[in-house]
Amino acid sequence: MSALPRHVGIIMDGNGRWAQLRGQPRLEGHRIGAESVRDITRAARELGLEAITLYAFSAQNWARPADEVRGLMDLLRDYLHDERSEIMDNQIRLHAIGDLDRLPASVKQPLDALRQDSAGNRGMVLTLALSYGGRESLAAAAAALARDVAAGKLDPRTIDADRFGAYLPTAELPPVDLLIRTSGEQRISNFLLWELAYAELMFVDVMWPDFRRNHLYQCLEQFAGRERRFGLTGAQVAGSDSDVEAGDA
């Protein structure tokens, strides 16, 4: 269990290609992709992960064709409606990051309601990145920090990485240990730019609509086999392991 990541971020890529390969409209890929969201969320909760963050709609996705944007918003609305009891029954806390004011009321209202109603849940935190961009998130944090400096509430000499990180909407979440991107593309695409600092990156050659819990288990198995050094040497990491073991003994 100790080899499990605390927080997994997922770039759910490949919905459009999955549909096109089958001669179907892109939205069909998103619809089946929403089923993958359900399966992965359930599996993550059952495994006892502390947090998962799903890149569901980027700040740049607003520029897609209007019918695709509308279809994605309808899927999100339906998801929030259909998953409400699953989220509440399983002690999941719903969180959202991004420019949420841009979302249509049909999504924003159920999102706000479920965030509020699930705020006391102490199981896993499910974060939906919606209208989200990592650079935009960093710029918003820098603006908030500058406002606090200008108001005399923050001494600029005390700003370090921890203090800056506290201005991000992910501040309450554990560090991202593992990033999974499906569809074979090897890019970060403006997702969690700050938060991924020490994440293990995994690029999986499976389109998101096909990505189900068995693929997640395989990623977790690979994660458990990786050596994470956080800037230390391999010998230092190995030394701290044997110290822990000696201490335990």
Question: 39 an active-site residue?
Answer: no
When CB distances to ligand FPP are compared, the closest residue is 16
C-alpha count within 13 angstroms, C-beta hemisphere, residue 114: 30
39, 61, 99, 121: the active-site residue: 61
Neighbours of 18 (CB within 10 A): 24
Least distance (Å) between residue 172 CB and ligand FPP = 20
Strand partners, 8: 52, 178
Pairwise CA distance, residues 146 & 168, whole Å: 13
| Nearer CB in complex with ligand FPP: 187/229 | 187
Name the residue nearer to ligand FPP (CB basis): 7 or 181.
181
Indicate if 90 belongs to the active site: no
Site residues, ligand FPP (CB under 6 A): 12-17, 30, 33-34, 37, 54, 56, 61, 72, 75-76, 79, 128, 208
Kindly state the smallest distance separating residue 238's Cβ from ligand FPP, in Å: 39
Q: How far is the CB of 10 from ligand FPP (least distance, A)?
A: 9
CB of 76 to ligand FPP, least distance (A): 6
Instruction: Give yes or no for a contact between 141 and 167, defined as CB atoms under 8 angstroms apart.
Output: yes
How far, CA to CA in Å, does 149 sit from each of 91, 138, 144, 160?
38, 16, 9, 14
Rounded to an integer, what distance in angstroms lies between the CA atom of residue 80 and that of residue 74? 10
Q: Which residues are identified as catalytic?
A: 13, 61
